[in-house]
Amino acid sequence: MSFIQSINSNSRPYTQFSAVNEKSLNKQTQFHIQYENVQKPKQADSDFAVNISRSHADASKFATFYYEKIKGHANSVVDDSLPADKYSKGLHHETLSQIMKMPIDVEVERHEMQQALLFNSLGIDFLAYKELGVRREMLALAEDDIMGDDRLADYEKARFVDAIRGFDARLEEAQNALLGGVPSDALDADMNDPSNPWSILAKAAA
């Protein structure tokens, strides 16, 4: 059961939600104040996952590694005998699906030590937060590739971008939930909800 579902099923939802929401907000406020105190000027080559890259050249090493791995997987499972547009849709569908579902491992790098210590002092899982950031980076890389794909019409690209926007919003919500100490599942696949990014992705690939 998700956090929201558990609250909705409770006999006193408003009171409990207000208490949890206030606690979450206080924790996020505490985090941002302390984070600002330790934040260093950003390096041009920084690959800290919080800073979502919009360019292949600037992507973190984790995003680049896993994105190339995912694209290799997509190329191996999509039927290359399909017509060009369907083949392209299949590649993008598989790529986006794996960005959200593939298990990935990240590490604390030297330039991230202060941030990681701050997260730890507040009881926040830094690596879980960074993993979500890497997935967001990969979504940005995928969007760049989709927009540059001349095998798709503009309206077809827009459908995939809509799915990416939905996935990115879920990941951002999950990051904010981590900062507030609230559990959140950003990777669910409820196909019955037409506004769900998984449903949008399925329609884009059709």
Task: Identify the residue whose tokens are 């030297």.
Answer: 110
pLDDT digits (tens, 9 = 90+) for 106-143: 999 999 999 999 999 999 999 999 999 999 999 999 99
Q: Which of 5-19, 130-144, 154-168 has the lowest mean pLDDT?
A: 5-19
User: Which tokens sit at 180?
Assistant: 């507030």
Query: d(Cα 113, Cα 127) in Å, to the nearest integer?
Result: 12
Query: d(Cα 175, Cα 21) in Å, to the nearest integer?
Result: 15
pLDDT digits (tens, 9 = 90+) for 48-89: 333 444 567 788 999 999 999 999 999 999 999 999 999 999
The pLDDT confidence band at residue 193, using thresholds 50, 70 and 90, is confident
pLDDT number for residue 30: 53
Angle between helices 84-101 and 154-180 (to 10 degrees): 0
* pTM to 2 decimal places: 0.73
Task: Identify the residue whose tokens are 């909705």.
Answer: 8
Q: Is pLDDT above 60 for 25? A: no
Residue burial 174-183, b: 16+ Cβ < 10 Å; e: rest: bbebbbbbbe
